[in-house]
């Protein structure tokens, strides 16, 4: 039993690595990559960035919830307004792609397009 769990974990890790490599290798459009890097470096033009870094007279609070500083971290994972739908959609989209990759790796029947894949389409 322990061996099966370890093999499944290894398979999942391999699939995640394949997904990451496929994104790096060309699934991401050229214009998108600099935006991702800017977001990682906290250098996208959020209200907080404009107020604290660029010293502009902009409100530093989030323009959606108006409760917290509008930082990249807040927008990507901490905004209570975005938490209601956007974070859930991002979560579901990621795990749809992961499930699709697992189905492909296990050679189970599925669609050709990962983004229309559902777990009920795969016959296990
Ligand atoms: Zn917010």
Residues 78 and 94 in one domain: no
Residues 79 and 50 in one domain: yes
Q: Rounded to whole angstroms, how far apart are CA atoms 84 and 104?
A: 31
Residues 72 and 106 in one domain: no
In a domain, 24, yes or no: no
* 80 C-alpha to ligand 1 centroid (Å): 6
Residues 80 and 93 in one domain: no
Q: Rounded to whole angstroms, how far apart are CA atoms 83 and 92?
A: 13
Compute CA distances 43 → 39, 104, 112, whole Å: 6, 37, 37
* 83 C-alpha to ligand 1 centroid (Å): 9
* 120 C-alpha to ligand 1 centroid (Å): 35
- Structure confidence at residue 124 (pLDDT): 46
User: Mean pLDDT for each consecutive 10-residue tract of the chain (124 residues)?
Assistant: 59 58 61 80 88 93 96 92 91 87 84 76 49
- Structure confidence at residue 26 (pLDDT): 57
Q: Look at the chain and report how many structural domains it folds into.
A: 2
* 67 C-alpha to ligand 1 centroid (Å): 6
In a domain, 7, yes or no: no
* 63 C-alpha to ligand 1 centroid (Å): 7
- Structure confidence at residue 38 (pLDDT): 83
In a domain, 3, yes or no: no
User: Domain containing 51: what range?
Assistant: 39-84
* 51 C-alpha to ligand 1 centroid (Å): 16
- Structure confidence at residue 19 (pLDDT): 59
* 78 C-alpha to ligand 1 centroid (Å): 7
Residues 74 and 107 in one domain: no
In a domain, 10, yes or no: no
In a domain, 17, yes or no: no
């Amino acid at each position: 039993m322990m061996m099966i769990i370890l093999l499944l974990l290894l398979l999942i890790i391999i699939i995640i690595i394949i997904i990451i490599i496929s994104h790096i290798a060309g699934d991401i459009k050229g214009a998108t990559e600099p935006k991702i890097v800017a977001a990682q470096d906290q250098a996208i033009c959020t209200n907080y960035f404009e107020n604290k870094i660029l010293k502009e007279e902009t409100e530093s609070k989030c323009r959606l919830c108006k409760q917290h500083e509008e930082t990249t971290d807040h927008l990507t994972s901490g905004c209570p307004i975005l938490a209601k739908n956007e974070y859930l959609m991002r979560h579901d989209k990621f795990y749809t792609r992961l499930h699709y990759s697992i189905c492909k790796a296990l050679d189970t029947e599925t669609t050709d397009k990962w983004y229309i894949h559902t777990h009920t389409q795969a016959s296990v």
